Chain A
Amino acid sequence: MQRDLGSLPLAPALRARLVGAGFSTAQELLEVGPCELSKEIGISNEEALETLQVIRQECDSDAARMGGDPTSLRTCTALELLEQEQAQGFVVTFCSVLDDILGGGVQLTKITEICGAPGVGKTQLCMQLAVDVQIPECFGGLAGEAVYIDTEGSFMVERVADIATACVQHCQLIAEAHQEEDHHKALETFSLESILSHIYYFRCHDYTELLAQIYLLPDFLSEHSKVRLVAVDGIAFPFRHDFEDLSLRTRLLNGLAQQLISIANDHKLAVILTNQMTTRIGQSQSTLVPALGESWGHAATIRLILHWDNNQRLATLYKSPSQKESTVPYCITPHGFRDVQPPPPSQTPEGSEMNPRKRPRIEEDKQ
């Protein structure tokens, strides 16, 4: 197979020497032994052996793919993808209108970016999702685990405990209303301790640690195969200050985005990123836009912008491949991320709105 040398993953200096010696395709290189190769281009024997191994691996994997099934390009048809998509679930947010505009919840195998001004609820949403991904399947969840990568230090365990307790209570109420065996069995393992123990928390203090963490994530995920959510709270923070070389920043961010989407696709999980807002000074006015620049805008598959309107918090779906743009209100209660409820006349506002994917609850008096 005629693989051009330029398309093989070799170090640039090595490639320059190979081209200078006259090699141009992988085929020619494979015909030469390591000793001859090291003499020709003046590198050590070990390096020559390594290079030939890399090339042989690339060409062998190509040949194996083609030898096995000449028509397969490691592709699948759109029909198979459709079936896969319809079978996989979503991570619900407990705010039913937000779930609706997202098409059911946060999607797996995609990167969702949440942008917003400080204090609008990005970290709250991340924490809510880290709890919601663990809801057992009989209640409409994914029964997965969560990885939480924190760069800003805004993860509060007490708050997660509150959210988790509210979630467990909600599931208990459903189980009581519909007395079914699998509900009760699931509830035995779904408790505050189990929820907290299945959130894997990493704290990264600067961009090097963040990059290292994300590049090492595939190894972690192959050991913990039940992880269904990776939340990076504050992708903008390490990259926004103390970065002199902006082209390096763009390069690192783009590499990070590709690594994340490749993880999301290989391990079938959802990736959530939170981003800050910055001001773009226009000709006559200035607008509030997500930080990290235009090129970062292409990294996320789905972009959600959270903002204020007087005293009401609103969520706008700004970019999505399958849903249309719309804006919905939400609120943050002591129980977590919820729909906006008109305050009932005498009682304190109820906790959660009905999740359309779960069976409807019979109206219960919480007190």
Chain B
Amino acid sequence: MVMLQAGLCPGLTAEMIQLLKASGIRTVVDLISSDLEEVAQKCSLSYKALVAVRRVLLAQFSAFPINGVHLYEELKSSMAILSTGNKSLDTLLDSGLYTGEVMELMGAPGSGKTQVCLSIAASVSHSLKQNVLFIDSTGGFTASRLLQLVQFRTEEEEEQVEALQRIQVAHVFDIYKMLAALQELRHCMSQQVVCSGGPVKLLVVDSVSAVVCPLFGGRQSEGLALMMQLARELKTLAREFGLATVPTGIKVELDIGGYGALEERPGASGEEL
């Protein structure tokens, strides 16, 4: 929804905009969706000029359709599958985390969501040597536990240090800060700034519900709007930049029978400690 401004396209002058505003047309969408004959009569503007302006605006602002075959070719070359480090989890996810997609982890308190997130981060950072951004909103990120998980994968200290350096951690505890952090990430990635090693390939958000739950309930309803904003940000980041995104949330009734194989996870279960 872009506002009409002078100079947006040739032929759109300031007086035209004033006349349009007076009759309630403020944005590009308003102009394109209105009946131009009526507008021409009400604002005493030339019909031809309005049609010319509309054509230019349509060309400038509409989305381009893309052929299914082109989409498939593009995906084949740009999508990657990141293994989570746990064979049974990989099988469940059809060989791993797909970049460009958002995978949500849900579970009751104490069921192991943070552990799965740490384990995936350790695996991607160490085995796949990719950068990871871990956004922590619950305070559950414990670096010593991450070190333990990395130590089970390799004995050499240098590799452990490198793996830990590839994981960036941001602490945000409310919804606005989280949205700001995601915007910054988007900005960083669109500038294609090269950080040490390369761009972020995996984004873990632990947890989404901690920042969104304080907005629900009571009589205020803007919580849903903010939740959708957050969802949109995550999806855009995943889609546009080819990240694999893993937010976690809570749900009371969830059948996690399929996760029974978690005991086999190397070094992360209680028995090994």
Q: CB within 8 Å of B: which residues of A? A: 1, 3-4, 6-9, 12, 15, 21-24, 28, 58, 62, 65-66, 70-71, 73-79, 81-82, 84-86, 109-111, 245, 247-252, 254-255, 257-259, 261-262, 264-265, 294-295, 297-299, 301, 303, 318-319, 321-325
Q: Are B133 and A75 in contact (CB under 8 A)?
A: yes
Contacts of B217 in A (CB 8 A): 245, 247-251
Contacts of A248 in B (CB 8 A): 217-218
Q: Given the known A-B contacts A24-B1, A258-B174, are A109 and B139 also in contact in the complex, defined by CB atoms under 8 Å?
A: yes
Interface contact tally, CB-CB below 8 A: 174
Q: Are B167 and A7 in contact (CB under 8 A)?
A: no
What's the minimum C-beta distance from A146 to chain B, rounded to whole angstroms?
A: 20
Contacts of B174 in A (CB 8 A): 258, 262
Name the contact of A7 in the complex, choosing from B114, B164, B179, B250 (C-beta under 8 A).
Answer: B179
Q: Given the known A-B contacts A62-B184, A262-B174, are A82 and B143 also in contact in the complex, defined by CB atoms under 8 Å?
A: yes
What's the minimum C-beta distance from B175 to chain A, rounded to whole angstroms?
A: 9
Q: Are A251 and B216 in contact (CB under 8 A)?
A: yes
Contacts of A318 in B (CB 8 A): 110
Q: Given the known A-B contacts A62-B184, A301-B139, are A258 and B173 also in contact in the complex, defined by CB atoms under 8 Å?
A: yes
Q: Does B46 contact A (CB under 8 A)?
A: no
The residue of chain B having its C-beta at the shortest distance from the C-beta of A296 within the complex is B109
CA distance A251 to B216 in the complex (A): 6
Q: Are A78 and B214 in contact (CB under 8 A)?
A: no
Q: Are B188 and A322 in contact (CB under 8 A)?
A: no
Stretch of B47-55, B78-86, B205-213 that contacts chain A: B205-213
CA distance A28 to B147 in the complex (A): 46
Q: Does B171 contact A (CB under 8 A)?
A: yes
For window 180-211 of chain B, which residues contact chain A by CB distance below 8 Å?
A: 180-181, 183-185, 187-188, 191, 193, 195, 207, 209-211
Name the contact of A62 in the complex, choosing from B26, B170, B180, B215 (C-beta under 8 A).
Answer: B180
Q: Are B146 and A22 in contact (CB under 8 A)?
A: no
Q: Given the known A-B contacts A73-B188, A254-B213, are A22 and B169 also in contact in the complex, defined by CB atoms under 8 Å?
A: no
Contacts of B233 in A (CB 8 A): 7
CA distance A58 to B110 in the complex (A): 36
For window 141-182 of chain B, which residues contact chain A by CB distance below 8 Å?
A: 141-148, 161, 164-171, 173-174, 176, 179-181
Q: Are B183 and A297 in contact (CB under 8 A)?
A: no
Contacts of B225 in A (CB 8 A): 6
Contacts of B44 in A (CB 8 A): none
Contacts of A298 in B (CB 8 A): 109, 138, 207, 209-210, 250
Contacts of A6 in B (CB 8 A): 225-226, 229
Q: Does B261 contact A (CB under 8 A)?
A: no
Q: Does B43 contact A (CB under 8 A)?
A: no
Name the contact of A78 in the complex, choosing from B146, B176, B181, B211 (C-beta under 8 A).
Answer: B146
Q: Given the known A-B contacts A21-B26, A28-B3, A86-B144, are A75 and B169 also in contact in the complex, defined by CB atoms under 8 Å?
A: yes
CA distance A29 to B9 in the complex (A): 20
Name the contact of B109 in the complex, choosing from A71, A74, A254, A319 (C-beta under 8 A).
Answer: A319
Q: Does B256 contact A (CB under 8 A)?
A: no
Question: A82, A85, A111: which has the most chain B beta carbons within 10 Å?
Answer: A82
CA distance A79 to B166 in the complex (A): 9
CA distance A10 to B122 in the complex (A): 38
Contacts of B168 in A (CB 8 A): 73, 75-78
Contacts of A319 in B (CB 8 A): 109-110
CA distance A322 to B180 in the complex (A): 29
Q: Given the known A-B contacts A24-B1, A71-B188, are A322 and B171 also in contact in the complex, defined by CB atoms under 8 Å?
A: no
Q: Given the known A-B contacts A24-B2, A247-B217, A258-B173, are A321 and B229 also in contact in the complex, defined by CB atoms under 8 Å?
A: no
Q: Does B127 contact A (CB under 8 A)?
A: no
Q: Are A4 and B141 in contact (CB under 8 A)?
A: no
Q: CB within 8 Å of A: which residues of B? A: 1-3, 26-27, 30, 108-110, 114-115, 118, 133-134, 137-148, 161, 164-171, 173-174, 176, 179-181, 183-185, 187-188, 191, 193, 195, 207, 209-211, 213-218, 220-222, 225-226, 229, 233, 250, 252, 270, 273
Name the contact of B108 in the complex, choosing from A74, A86, A297 (C-beta under 8 A).
Answer: A297
Q: Are B173 and A261 in contact (CB under 8 A)?
A: yes
With A1-B187, A78-B168, A301-B138 given, name 7 new contacts (CB 8 A).
A22-B1, A78-B134, A248-B218, A250-B213, A250-B217, A261-B139, A319-B109
What's the minimum C-beta distance from A184 to chain B, rounded to whole angstroms?
A: 34
Q: Are A251 and B108 in contact (CB under 8 A)?
A: no
CA distance A258 to B214 in the complex (A): 8
Contacts of A323 in B (CB 8 A): 273
CA distance A21 to B138 in the complex (A): 37
What's the minimum C-beta distance from A271 to chain B, rounded to whole angstroms?
A: 9
Q: Are B142 and A297 in contact (CB under 8 A)?
A: no
Q: Are A78 and B169 in contact (CB under 8 A)?
A: yes
Q: Are A71 and B195 in contact (CB under 8 A)?
A: yes
Q: Are A321 and B133 in contact (CB under 8 A)?
A: no
Contacts of B183 in A (CB 8 A): 1, 3, 7, 62
Q: Are B210 and A85 in contact (CB under 8 A)?
A: no
Contacts of B207 in A (CB 8 A): 298
CA distance A74 to B173 in the complex (A): 13
CA distance A88 to B233 in the complex (A): 35
Q: Are B169 and A247 in contact (CB under 8 A)?
A: no
Q: Are B218 and A297 in contact (CB under 8 A)?
A: no
What's the minimum C-beta distance from B148 to chain A, rounded to whole angstroms?
A: 8
Contacts of A322 in B (CB 8 A): 142, 144-145, 148
For this complex, 9 residue pairs linking A to B, each with C-beta atoms less than 8 Å apart, are A75-B133, A79-B143, A81-B141, A82-B144, A109-B139, A247-B216, A257-B210, A261-B138, A295-B250
